[in-house]
Structure 1
Amino acid sequence: MKNCVAAIAVLFSSVGAIERAGAADLPPFDKVSADFQAVSVSDQQDRKGFFNVWERKKDAQLLAELPKNFASKSYFVALTLSSGDKYAGLQSGELVVKWRQYDNRLALIAPNLSIRATGDAESKASVKRLFTDQVLLDIPVLAKGPTGGPVIDLDSLLINNAGTFYGRSVRISNPRITSIESVKVFPSNVEVAVEIVGASGRFQTLHYSFSEVPSPSSGFKPRVADQRVGYFTTTYTDLSKYTDDETRVRYINRWNLQKRDSKLKLSPPKEPIIFYVEHTAPVRYRRWIKAGIDYWNKAFEKVGIVDAIEVRYQDAESGAHMEKDPEDIRYNFVRWLNNDVGTAIGPSRVHPMTGEILDADIILTDGWIRHFNFNYDDLMPRLAMEGVSPETLAWLSEHPSWDPRVRMTSPSKVAQVREQIAREARQPYAGYAMAAADSTLIGDDEYDGLIGHISQKNGMCMAAGARSLDLAIARMDWALALLDDKPKVDDEKEKDKEDAEKEDDESSDEKSKEEEKDDAEKDDSDKGDSSDDKTADSKDDASDDKKDDEKDDSDMLDGMPDWFVGPLLADLVAHEVGHTIGLRHNFKGSALYTLDEINSEEVKGKKTFTASVMDYTPINFRYESGDVQGDYGMIDIGPYDYWAIEYGYSFDDKKLPELLKRCVEPELQYATDEDTSGPDPLARRYDFAKDPLDYAEEQMRLVKLYRTRILDKFVKEGDTWAKARRGYELTLSLQTRAASMMANWVGGAFVNRDKKGDPGDRSPVQVVPAEQQRAAIQFVIDNTFNDAAFGLTPKLLERMTSERWLDGSGHFGSSGEATWPVHDRVLGLQSSALTWLMSPTTLRRVYDNEMRLPADADAVTLPELLDTISEAAWTEIEAECPDGRNNRQPMITSLRRNLQKEHTQRLIDLLLEKNNNTAAYKPITDLARMELVDLQKEIEERLKTCEKKMDAYSRAHLNETAMRIGQALQAGFTYNSGAGASGGRILILGETPAE
């Protein structure tokens, strides 16, 4: 025993000697810091900084001394890529870290915060042992500092490890060229900006903000999240609990807003949320930015806080607030980026334990205000893929001929797009963006170019995307967009309007009947303002100088009247502010009113036309719906937004259960990002009105009208004819968006987030009524299958060219080819429509919905859907034998032949599908076979009776189709009976082998 004690004593003595030797090995601080200058504290009231920093400017070196008690603290490292990127200024993420010393090295450690134990000591001990922290990096200790803390090479930490902090968004290409752009020391934080040479040799500025993770704020109590109202969450797993409801803990993210005087019904806050509008924001837009922020103060007043949010302007000319860095974690900024990208984003940083929001910034970009500049290959697939589920993405990766991303791109890019899809298919859920999202990375648009950034983008938000498309349409012809010359819609309606005017003002007898009629028509068309009916500029150059007195006091903001674009910007800002105060998207907000109600005196200027600014709402351009031109955009936050703020920020926890029971009210319906890929057609981005079919039909009326004006109105004297191509593709974008939106109704089911005991006892799943589904099917067919839906004429086509510039800046189309690829473009939309209606996901939903309804209830069935599509695709073979047809006027047009070939191939693909993942495939296969058998019989009968009267194109097309069907039916019996199921793919005549 004595020997053991002696051995242990020797061991501990040796360890102590090693530690003392290690400390002695460090050089003295004076030697290490030679030629360095201390960075003074930027606060005259407090001379002590968050930690000490020394700078040597000649070679861009930084030293830092951590506090002596560093090991007992947790720190925030807030990251911002502040220059050298299209999204420079956007929060690039944050890390919660701890430092731990190992002899003369320091390890930077990310503590495990996602799995905890809050109960008994045994659970805590087990969880701590099993779920350990993560070492991010380690660095040497250079010396012991003046206050006893370890000194580190700060510039080496920030530059050499930039990839660890920023991830894939930063790659240093030349480590020899670096500089310290700024370093500021404050009592509670340290701000360091370093310039590096990033990818492609471009300079980039990396901004690091260091601060201490604060102790849970006084008076702040975490609030549990509820699925009925949409907040971002701070989430963890509590393994000291043993029931499912308790194990997963979700707190909503919200600010610590408290009354200064709790006795007052309406009190100022102890600490308001202050937003600084960055000096880069154009002066002409600043008041509208402020207006959008101020909307939310009304909601906070409902819970007892007045002036909860304040707005201050940073201004370069006056110097106001110019000392504040937008990247500084202490300040909330609204930043403006001139990057020609149409987006807006509102990220925030939260306390990792409680969900308290500590810092928020809003990024606005100029792209949505600029004339919408897009590449067809980027825009059209994005519109066509809206709402696609992970199931469909996975299926499309194995069936690229069905994929809109493939079918809507130019032939030169097909291989590249297929390779990208194949790479994404190897990721979970075939690369579906939301599958990789968690409570700190919520993305809603896998096509927006921001996937891969590592920041907490609270609703990586593309609310500006659809709006920029709408503004581009508006700029095609302002008078048309604002309906300055709207034609008479209904003579009887006009007569009623005239009679009403006569009754209202009998003193107008001096006016002639003709003058009354002119006034009535003008009154019906000159509705342009969301607040006071100001009109837009006149419709042509000759009348541009004739402005009404009402318009003389309007400022033109980048070619648009302030009364038009200003409220749209305020609405966009309000949306992003909603994110920064914790709210997620609500894509059911737009389903509050019908289109006629939106364009009525009862709603216009008096109520918001959607339930929430957290929806993506297109601009309300009226053509025929309603009696008046309603508000173009939201004029306030909606009733859902008031309710959500009441849940998140009210002070009486006891009222919350009853407050949540209001979720059944029509204006409080909620669906968010992950719902957009589900079966609910109202959980949709960019739709509008209670019955979106009305909106879709209104959009198509406008599309048809715009197309008649492209050559005469949009392309002006002296313009390049490439504008005709651009204008047409803009209208094709609206057409695609409308058809895609309505396709979501097929096989759809409304999904409610109610809980048991909520009023009304609503079912959580309610099948979309059959008549609405049929109307949606017909809309998609009418606007994609038929030649007339595309409005193409020889005169238009011969002028749809492209600009010829070697610098590559003039590409409004998928390629530089001067002739617009007519058949490829039309088939791209037609093939996408067939994918929307015939994808296995849609067919499965239709099939499953049959079981959700009683047998005697009206329902859309699989046979009905497939029959409807077939009949619409093949109307020509049911008509009488053609008379007088020739190769220039064929029985079946070239666009229709392409559609029919595509439809046949889709049925063949479904027939040959060998998939055991879902029980719906067997009936789908059987019905596809039946459709092909019937189609083959009809074609063969048609050929027998009419072949000699047919043109060569139609005859060859029908003969080839009949042969392909015959081969497919024979192959189908072989393939699905087992032979070939594990072998190579069976090719049918005319089919292109899969790569």
Structure 2
Amino acid sequence: VKITKAKAFPENVELAFEVPTSTGRLQSLHYSISQIPSGSGYRPRKADERVGYFTTTYQDFGKLTQADSRVRYINRWHLEKADPSLQLSPPKQPIVFYIEHTTPVRYRRWIREGILHWNQAFEKVGISNAIEVYYQDERNGAHMEKDPEDVRYNFIRWLSNNQGTAIGPSRVHPETGQILDADVILTDGWIRHYWTTFTKVMPKIAMEGMNPDTLAWLRDRPNWDPRVLMCEPSQRAYVLKELEAHAHEPYGGHALTKSDSVMMGKNEYDGLADRTCQVNGMCTLTEGKAFDVAMFRMMYAMMAAEDDDGEKGEAASGDPNKAEDPNKPKEPKLKKKAEPMIDDMPESFIGPLLSDLVCHEVGHTLGLRHNFKASSVYRLSEINSKEFKGNKPMAGSIMDYLPVNINFEDGEIQGDYGMIGVGPYDMWAIQYGYTPNEAELPAILSRVAEPELQYATDEDTYGPDPLARRYDFGSEPLDYAKNQVRIAQHNRGRIINELVKDGESWARTRQAYEMTLAMQLRAVSMMSNWLGGAHVYRDKKGDKDGRLPIEVVSAEKQRNALNFVIENTLNDEAFGLTNDLLVRMSVDKWWDDRSSVLEDATWPIHDRVMSIQASALASLMYPSKLSRIYDNEFLVSSDQDALTLPELLTTISKAVWSELDAQYEKTFTTREPMISSLRRNLQRVHMELLVDLAESGSSSSAANKPISDLALQQLRQIRTKADRMSRNQADKMDEYTAAHLKDVSTRIRKALGAHYVLRSL
């Protein structure tokens, strides 16, 4: 055993050891031991589920009932007015943060601004300048005597390691919930990431919001698992083996069951379970920010190229006043190149985005949990308006995972790219946590039904509420989803001429296309979450304008979401693939990035498209999704409109097999088939999914029997139509289509036969 670090401070000791593990490798273990203060006069405050705070929890065995014996306090700082008689007073002792000297100078003011955003919320409870910020500066020696590992000081730490990380952990008194010290750790990877790979980002997008029942179903049917569908074909056996190794885990291996209360930082639920004091053990906000920054870089490069070409064209034509083509799509309203730049991006973009990130992490250090419903407060038209821009935050809370706001063909105003301060929910949460007069708390909490105070946190994201979602945006997410698809489609048409410059590799074509594909899938995944959805509210009986806890999503919104998913995944045109694009989608092979060496120089067209289509179809037809729809039919009064299982399955089948209802006049060839290769793959996937649903053991849900019966009915109808087309239009049919329909008929017949044999046993 080797001691690699030993530091002693007045209130804590830091020790690090290098020890051999059972595998023979050396591992570093760091121990941080600090004393717990006493006699501070701090009074704990009870937690309430209407407001999202980390908690300190214990059981009082002197009480008999569960409600009385479970004690939950919110985690918060001991913040008091210096002069209680003043309406607005400075604090007795402010919360002080030091920005570490390792932080690049170009970022420092934006980090400071993000921290100080919270002072606006504390002013609402009568405390001015509750938070103070100082720069640690190596050049003039300012605050260099302070060590970030000394618990007497709160630091914003900066690491340049090419990793995209941001986290705001804290140290909490285990008896009262008083926050004693906190630090924010930032890394620069999310700013550096120019591209992100298909196999890295796409499965995460597709898996967003999956509940334990769905994960358990996928465990037995890994052929529908996005982690399998979207990996490289050569890697599928390996991924399958990895998934099989965890097949025994409860709740389908959901991340919530694998959170770590000690070795935190690998699981999104770390720090929440099996601890007396909850802390922010992991925050993945930078993953989404890295994607959005990469997308912005690409779009900005395209705009710069178009500006250059436009200037050259005007100079050559001698007609700078030539009228603009009214039919030409309008560009996203991004800033012009002339403004100050930071790391090849406009400072007006990346600066506020960094403040947004820091403000979020500092919110964790103040005790606040994530609020993934806060993005649903305002309409896009409001966010991109003069009234909001520069004046009002674009969401209810900074504690959401918010995408970058880029307005495209949706009004004349480009609103703020990110949050410009804390939101109304944040003000309300700070008011509950830090208001000195406890008699005011019931009135504060009774505001829960106000539209701007929507709240849902990590454990709500796999529930039925479609608004409890990471990276959705706006009170009508369908509008945002359409905006994202418009941007993706527009960018695809500009990759060849405006992104890849003379002397650059055509590999950028593949990278850029896959980014647009990820943007499209994020929109599709977001909207598939609305099927079978129900809004969940935390209002208590007697709250002002209190809502019922469950409200089924309207049938109209569910149908609109279904149509969006169909339109943007099940049709060939949705992917914008052209010969000109595909022949340029190559890859650079460098040994210092070994993954690229193993990639094929030609893009796997059918494999990629089928993986997205299979994932999208499955997201609409998972047994857990169908069970929710079936239950919602019961929740909604019979005299009201509701989306039903027969309607859902029929709508999907009609979209997938639309060719079977057509009457063709022309004769098709293998070069111009009746049913395209992409559509044949889609139909095969849909048929196999219906067969899985028809199996009696497809799900343990009580809805399994009606789901199975309806799946069988769909299969019979598809077979009947396929046989009819094979008979009636055989003379017009190409060989691919003929063989495909024959195979469809045969496989359905066998599946139906196997089903009835199983039922008779």
TM > 0.5: yes
Q: CA deviation at 1:265?
A: 1.9
Q: Distance in 1 between matches of 2:151 and 2:620?
A: 49
1:960 aligns with 2:760: no
Given the alignment, which residue of 413, 432, 444 partners 1:628? 413
Given the alignment, which residue of 174, 183, 197 partners 1:375? 197
1:948 aligns with 2:731: yes
Given the alignment, which residue of 670, 677, 694 partners 2:455? 670
Match of 1:679 in 2: 464
Q: Describe the shift of the 1:193–1:932 C-alpha distance in structure 2 as closer, same or farther (beyond 3 A).
A: closer
1:276 aligns with 2:98: yes
Q: Describe the shift of the 1:439–1:624 C-alpha distance in structure 2 as closer, same or farther (beyond 3 A).
A: farther
Identity %: 54
Q: Is the 8 A contact 1:348 1:456 kept in 2?
A: no
Given the alignment, which residue of 897, 904, 911 partners 2:687? 904
Structure 2 residue identity aligned to 1:670:
Y
Q: Match of 1:783, SS? A: helix
Q: CA deviation at 1:184?
A: 3.8
Q: Describe the shift of the 1:643–1:733 C-alpha distance in structure 2 as closer, same or farther (beyond 3 A).
A: same
Q: CA deviation at 1:208?
A: 3.5
Q: Distance in 2 between matches of 1:713 and 1:738?
A: 25
Q: Describe the shift of the 1:309–1:387 C-alpha distance in structure 2 as closer, same or farther (beyond 3 A).
A: same
Q: Match of 2:182, SS? A: strand
Q: CA deviation at 1:402?
A: 1.2
Match of 1:602 in 2: 387
Q: Is the 8 A contact 1:300 1:308 kept in 2?
A: yes
Flag the structure with more relative contact order, 1 or 2, with Cα contacts below 8 A and sequence separation at least 6: 2
Structure 2 residue identity aligned to 1:886:
T
Given the alignment, which residue of 219, 235, 239 partners 1:397? 219
Structure 2 residue identity aligned to 1:221:
R
Q: CA deviation at 1:179?
A: 4.7
1:185 aligns with 2:12: no
Q: Distance in 2 between matches of 1:526 and 1:841?
A: 39
1:536 aligns with 2:321: no
Match of 1:753 in 2: 538
Farther off after superposition, 585-594 or 435-444 = 435-444
Q: Is the 8 A contact 2:197 2:514 kept in 1?
A: no
Q: Deviations over 1:161-205 (max 9, x none)?
A: xxxxxxxxxxxxxx4xx3544x44343333344566889999876
Q: Is the 8 A contact 2:535 2:552 kept in 1?
A: yes
Q: Describe the shift of the 1:192–1:437 C-alpha distance in structure 2 as closer, same or farther (beyond 3 A).
A: closer
1:178-577 correspondence runs (5 A): 178-181=2-5, 183-194=6-17, 206-215=29-38, 217-437=39-259, 458=280, 460-478=282-300, 527-528=333-334, 535-537=335-337, 547=338, 551=339, 554=340, 556-577=341-362
Given the alignment, which residue of 557, 567, 575 partners 1:772? 557
Q: Is the 8 A contact 2:696 2:705 kept in 1?
A: no
Match of 2:482 in 1: 697
Q: Distance in 2 between matches of 1:451 and 1:816?
A: 40
Q: Describe the shift of the 1:466–1:483 C-alpha distance in structure 2 as closer, same or farther (beyond 3 A).
A: farther
Q: Is the 8 A contact 2:58 2:276 kept in 1?
A: no
Structure 2 residue identity aligned to 1:428:
P
Q: Number of paired residues?
A: 749
Q: Distance in 2 between matches of 1:924 and 1:831?
A: 19
Q: CA deviation at 1:309?
A: 1.1
Q: CA deviation at 1:304?
A: 1.5
1:789 aligns with 2:577: no
Q: Is the 8 A contact 1:481 1:621 kept in 2?
A: no
Q: Distance in 2 between matches of 1:236 and 1:452?
A: 11
1:728 aligns with 2:513: yes
Match of 1:803 in 2: 588
Q: CA deviation at 1:658?
A: 1.1
Q: Match of 1:477, SS? A: helix
Match of 1:82 in 2: none
Q: Is the 8 A contact 1:347 1:456 kept in 2?
A: no
1:605-616 correspondence runs (5 A): 605-616=390-401
Structure 2 residue identity aligned to 1:931:
Q
1:841 aligns with 2:624: yes
Q: Deviations over 1:207-256 (max 9, x none)?
A: 433322222x5221111111111001111223332223223221111011
Q: Is the 8 A contact 1:483 1:623 kept in 2?
A: no
Alignment TM-score, normalising by the size of structure 1: 0.72
Q: Is the 8 A contact 2:333 2:413 kept in 1?
A: yes
Q: Is the 8 A contact 2:169 2:365 kept in 1?
A: yes
Q: Deviations over 1:498-532 (max 9, x none)?
A: xxxxxxxxxxxxxxxx969779999x86954xxxx
1:885-896 correspondence runs (5 A): 885-896=668-679
Farther off after superposition, 956-965 or 304-313 = 304-313
Structure 1 residue identity aligned to 2:192:
R
Q: Match of 1:658, SS? A: helix
Q: CA deviation at 1:904?
A: 0.1
Q: Distance in 2 between matches of 1:347 and 1:205?
A: 20
Q: Match of 1:310, SS? A: strand
Q: Deviations over 1:568-593 (max 9, x none)?
A: 10011000000010000111111111
Match of 2:314 in 1: none
Q: Distance in 2 between matches of 1:445 and 1:747?
A: 28
Q: Is the 8 A contact 1:346 1:458 kept in 2?
A: yes
Structure 1 residue identity aligned to 2:14:
E
Q: Describe the shift of the 1:443–1:429 C-alpha distance in structure 2 as closer, same or farther (beyond 3 A).
A: farther
Match of 1:36 in 2: none
Larger Rg over CA atoms = 1
Q: Is the 8 A contact 1:912 1:976 kept in 2?
A: no
Q: Distance in 2 between matches of 1:920 and 1:569?
A: 47
Q: Deviations over 1:590-638 (max 9, x none)?
A: 1111111111112111111111100111011111113311111111110
Structure 2 residue identity aligned to 1:579:
H
Q: Distance in 2 between matches of 1:478 and 1:681?
A: 32
Match of 2:503 in 1: 718
Structure 1 residue identity aligned to 2:194:
F
Q: Distance in 1 between matches of 2:98 and 2:286?
A: 21
Match of 1:929 in 2: 712
1:641 aligns with 2:441: no
Q: Distance in 1 between matches of 2:625 and 2:690?
A: 14
Q: Distance in 1 between matches of 2:4 and 2:504?
A: 48
Match of 1:156 in 2: none
Q: Describe the shift of the 1:520–1:272 C-alpha distance in structure 2 as closer, same or farther (beyond 3 A).
A: farther
Q: Describe the shift of the 1:484–1:638 C-alpha distance in structure 2 as closer, same or farther (beyond 3 A).
A: farther
Q: CA deviation at 1:428?
A: 2.4
Q: Describe the shift of the 1:811–1:208 C-alpha distance in structure 2 as closer, same or farther (beyond 3 A).
A: same
Q: Distance in 2 between matches of 1:342 and 1:661?
A: 39
Q: Match of 2:13, SS? A: strand
Q: Is the 8 A contact 1:721 1:799 kept in 2?
A: yes
Structure 2 residue identity aligned to 1:923:
P
Structure 1 residue identity aligned to 2:428:
W
Q: Distance in 1 between matches of 2:327 and 2:128?
A: 46
Q: CA deviation at 1:446?
A: 5.3
Q: Is the 8 A contact 1:207 1:327 kept in 2?
A: no
The CA RMSD measured in Å over matched residues stands at 2.9
Q: CA deviation at 1:894?
A: 0.6
Structure 2 residue identity aligned to 1:843:
L
Q: Distance in 1 between matches of 2:347 and 2:633?
A: 51
Q: CA deviation at 1:952?
A: 0.5
Structure 2 residue identity aligned to 1:322:
M
Given the alignment, which residue of 798, 810, 818 partners 2:601? 818
Q: CA deviation at 1:397?
A: 0.4
Alignment TM-score, normalising by the size of structure 2: 0.93
